[in-house]
């Protein structure tokens, strides 16, 4: 995924010392608002997790719909989400800013289409975040590699 986010790869031919010895390739960016950062979480022997901060904003949850934009059958008991631009299958850590609770979701739908909202999460994810009572919550999104 790092290659998709703009990493450069350099290669040189052994013994080739001409002025064009290095060739670089830069992959296209898939989400313009992604900023790379490394979060270290070493709780109970876990390894460092590499993430890219995607955005901050309001999250809402939804319970309806038979099919998602990816073609999957919607299941409110799964930890899934809708995002406008992230590719299907992307894993995102959603953190409720007010409570510090977080949940890992998989993007399988498009939305939300309400101004100010950055993600729609499934009912199960909303329960994990503690936002079912209010319906919306201010969240931080981190794309997980």
Task: Give tens-digit pLDDT for 40-52.
Answer: 444 444 545 566 6
CB 128 within 8 A of CB 44: no
The per-residue pLDDT for 66 is 80
Domains of the chain (ranges, CATH numbers): 1-30 (no CATH), 32-144 (2.40.40.10)
Examine the pLDDT at 54 and tell me if it is beyond 90: no
Examine the pLDDT at 3 and tell me if it is beyond 70: no
CB atoms near residue 133 (< 10 Å): 7
Buried b / exposed e along 58-74 (16+ C-beta atoms within 10 A): bbbbbeeeeebeeeeeb
**From its phi and psi, is residue 139 left (phi > 0), alpha (psi between -120 and 50) or beta?**
beta
Confidence of residue 62 (pLDDT cuts 50, 70, 90): confident
The per-residue pLDDT for 145 is 65
CB atoms near residue 11 (< 10 Å): 9
Q: What is the pTM of this model?
A: 0.63
Q: Determine the average pLDDT of the residues in 51-74.
A: 83
What Cα–Cα distance (Å) separates residue 85 from each residue in 34, 41, 55, 89, 118?
11, 27, 12, 12, 10
Examine the pLDDT at 68 and tell me if it is beyond 90: yes
């Amino acid at each position: 995924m790092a290659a998709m986010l703009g990493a450069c790869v350099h290669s040189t031919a052994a013994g080739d010392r001409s002025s064009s010895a290095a060739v670089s390739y830069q992959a296209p960016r898939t989400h313009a608002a992604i900023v790379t950062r490394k979060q270290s979480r070493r709780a109970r022997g876990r390894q460092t997790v590499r993430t890219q901060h995607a955005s901050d904003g309001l999250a809402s949850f939804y319970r309806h719909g038979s099919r998602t934009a990816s073609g999957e059958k919607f299941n409110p008991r799964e930890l899934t989400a809708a995002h406008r631009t992230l590719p299907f299958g992307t894993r995102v850590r959603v953190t409720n800013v007010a409570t510090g609770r977080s949940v890992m979701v998989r993007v399988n739908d498009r939305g939300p289409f309400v101004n100010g909202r950055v993600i729609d999460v499934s009912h199960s994810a909303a329960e994990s975040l503690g936002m079912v009572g209010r319906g919306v919550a201010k969240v931080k999104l981190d794309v997980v590699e």
